[in-house]
Amino acid sequence: ETGVTQTPRHLVMGMTNKKSLKCEQHLGHNAMYWYKQSAKKPLELMFVYNFKEQTENNSVPSRFSPECPNSSHLFLHLHTLQPEDSALYLCASSLQVTTDTSTDTQYFGPGTRLTVL
């Protein structure tokens, strides 16, 4: 496997279900990101992890719970979602989140298309 992979690619769940999205990067990066892409909306950053520590939570509802056990893996645990949470969820990674004025390029996975019934 190369680059950034995401599983599953498609997921249909009911509002009472609990499911998890998985992301794995094979680039040797230390920062990982979750984005949400809804129809007709720009990509929205949800969470950022840098060296396994969460550095950004963009006011995401608690029904989305991220987990980053190591720099290569990122999960998004889902529970009691709403139909408006249906979207494409994209994972990305970069070398790291720097504290100076540099910005590393983010590389994206193929996404998980989530449908909440």
- CB of 14 vs other proteins, minimal distance in Å: 23
DSSP 8-state assignment for residue 40: T
- CB of 40 vs other proteins, minimal distance in Å: 8
Up-side HSE of residue 110: CA atoms within 13 Å toward CB? 9
Is 13 among the residues that bind other proteins (CB under 8 A)? Answer: no
In whole angstroms, what separates CA 15 from the centre of its chain? 20
- Largest separation between any pair of C-alpha atoms in the chain: 43
Using the minimum distance from each CB to other proteins, give the nearer residue, 71 or 106. 106
User: Taking CB under 8 A as the criterion, which residues in 55-114 touch other proteins?
Assistant: 55-56, 58, 88, 90, 92, 94, 97-103, 105-111, 113
